[in-house]
Structure 1
């Protein structure tokens, strides 16, 4: 692989990104609001093998944050150091729990895919899509779309406990995507 790739060129793409001013910027995390943290934590840790890096409670505002990731090697033991370390990582999922939602049987978050549409999904890439589908099936995961369904083959969409969509892809199967 050549190291000369910079960006695809499309209308609106900055031809000269501010390299010096943005040096060291890292995409750290995306946040999803969850109704019941025990249910969501079970799903993301058991089904996706994620680990909780850090939980932060904010009693005065009545919410908690859970930061999850797949790779937790070299995480500091000291909670303050681990908090700073957590905010320096890449590819973290933040689950936000507003206290009391778990007790309200009528409570539900908008998944972003119903009207009006907004947020769409998060995505996990997997080394073997067929094995991942078998794993999801063995855990009773709800599908939006299986890989063989619809116009876009070799891509699955599943739902988490709050109804958020999760795209599942095997990178090697996507070489013809969009061509």
Structure 2
């Protein structure tokens, strides 16, 4: 078995696709409308779904906003240069919510950004 995807419900699909593709550099892998169910699914990632886990962005046409709740944590992405990655996110209009630095009680260098719906993405520098 392997992880296929993680699903996030998003309020504005175009805004979310733009964030994940233009700000985080993912590719839009596929997209399909389901008019009878009034929703659209879009899959984004850094490579083919047959090779890597991806994100499924689910847009329910009649729901412009979601409450994130207290159970969700974050998505983690590895980056070779966390400082340059955060600078690039800021330059493209993204929001860095925790500047790069060592994690609490450890030495791993991390940072956090936030997508347009408030989901946290953690950058980790190996």
**TM-score band, normalised by shorter chain:** 0.7 to 0.9
Q: CA RMSD in A?
A: 1.9
Alignment gaps of 5+ in structure 1:
1-24, 73-85, 103-107, 172-179
Q: Is the 8 A contact 1:111 1:120 kept in 2?
A: no
Q: Which has the higher contact order (CA 8 A, sep 6+)?
A: 2
Indicate the residue corresponding to 2:95 in structure 1.
142
Q: Does 1:160 align with 2:115?
A: yes
The secondary structure found in structure 1 opposite 2:100 is coil
**Could you tell me which residue of structure 1 aligns to residue 5 of structure 2?**
29
Please state how far the C-alpha of 1:128 moved relative to its aligned partner: 0.9
Question: Compared with structure 1, are the counterparts of its residues 111 and 149 closer, same or farther at alpha carbon in structure 2 (3 Å cutoff)?
Answer: farther
**1:143 Cα offset (Å):** 2.4
Secondary structure at the aligned position of 2:101 is classed as: coil
* Change in 2 beyond 3 A, CA 1:28/1:150: closer
CA drift of 1:119 comes to 1.3
* Equivalence for 1:46: 22
In our comparison, the structure showing a higher alpha carbon Rg is: 1
Aligned partners of 1:169, 1:50: CA distance in 2, in Å? Answer: 17
In terms of fraction of residues, the more strand-rich structure is: 2
Unaligned 5+ runs, structure 2: none
Q: Of residues 98, 105, 109 in structure 1, which corresponds to 2:60?
A: 98
Say if 2:67 is the partner of 1:110. yes
What TM-score comes out, normalization by structure 2 length? 0.87
In the superposition, relative to structure 1, how do residues 150 and 27 fare at CA in structure 2: closer, same or farther (>3 Å)? closer
